[in-house]
Amino acid sequence: MNKIFNLAMLLICILITACSSDNEPKEPNTATPIQFEKREYTVMFGKGVAIPFTGGGGVYELTASNPDVLGKFCIDIETNNHLYIQPSKIGESYLTIKDIKADATVTLHIIVEDFYLAFVIDEIEGNNKNIFFVEGATIKYIRNEDNTKPVKIEVSRPETFQIETIAEGVFDITQSDTYIFTMKFTLHHKSDEEHVLYEYTMGGDGMYMSLFNSIFNFGWKEIVASSKSQPVKVVEMILTDKNNDCKIRCHLAS
């Protein structure tokens, strides 16, 4: 009889303990969900990018809608503050990031463009006849697969916080027998197919000439050798329109 009583008491204790465990409040989820400044990012083909973020629980699942475009992508668990992407193809992809600990999901739209050199126009002196060149505009020299040397002129619109392309076209650089370099633009407004030709004598730091040479395969042996002697912090390009006494100062954007 005592054995039956003891067994019954043991079962009651087990049930009470189980019920007590179920009623105990679970620890609240204190992880802040991962957050990015934007939902859309444009990156360059052939150039790795680190996109910062805040928050995050530290454990993530990443899924790309077009992994062939994004190539390699990951979040550095040690630093836990950057998304790294090494794109492998031109195109677009959506990247979904599931924050396991915070129980949250973020989807980013990633656009991979051709590699380009970007120069920002800082100052224009003299009589500027180029309606597309304005202070603050960005000149994008694009390196596409066929190396056709396309170029875009972009401006930032503060009222809409958007970047607008105001002109498109192609560019080329020629070298004279006396080592004078001339940059030629054939430009047109994005809504008008009428092309206008502009020519400028090139000056400034030799480093940017080395960049043009290596990226666009111009084959200037002397300019590459001379550009290595004087490192500079800010790479400046000066375009001079001698016919109109105009000088345009630009710097290489980071």
Residue 200 has pLDDT above 90, yes or no: yes
Domain assignment present for residue 181? The answer is yes
Shared-domain flag, residues 147 and 173: yes
Residue 233 has pLDDT above 90, yes or no: no
Shared-domain flag, residues 127 and 106: no
Residue 5 has pLDDT above 50, yes or no: no
| Total domain count, the chain | 2
Domain assignment present for residue 32? The answer is no
Shared-domain flag, residues 108 and 181: no
Least confident of 91-95, 97-101, 231-235: 231-235
Domain assignment present for residue 165? The answer is yes
Shared-domain flag, residues 50 and 136: no
Nearest to 62 by CA among 98, 19, 17: 98
Shared-domain flag, residues 97 and 147: no
Q: What is the pLDDT of residue 27?
A: 58
* Segment (H or E) for 79: none
Question: 8 pLDDT band (50/70/90 cuts)?
Answer: very low
For residue range 133-188, list pLDDT tens digits in order. 999 999 999 999 899 999 999 998 877 767 889 999 999 999 998 889 999 999 99
Residue 55 has pLDDT above 80, yes or no: yes
Q: What is the pLDDT of residue 12?
A: 47
Residue 231 has pLDDT above 90, yes or no: no
Backbone angles phi, psi at 220, to 5 degrees: -95, 95
For residue 65, what is the domain's CATH number?
2.60.40.1080
Domain assignment present for residue 46? The answer is yes
Shared-domain flag, residues 151 and 77: no
**Domain residue limits at 79:** 40-113
Domain assignment present for residue 24? The answer is no
pTM here is: 0.69
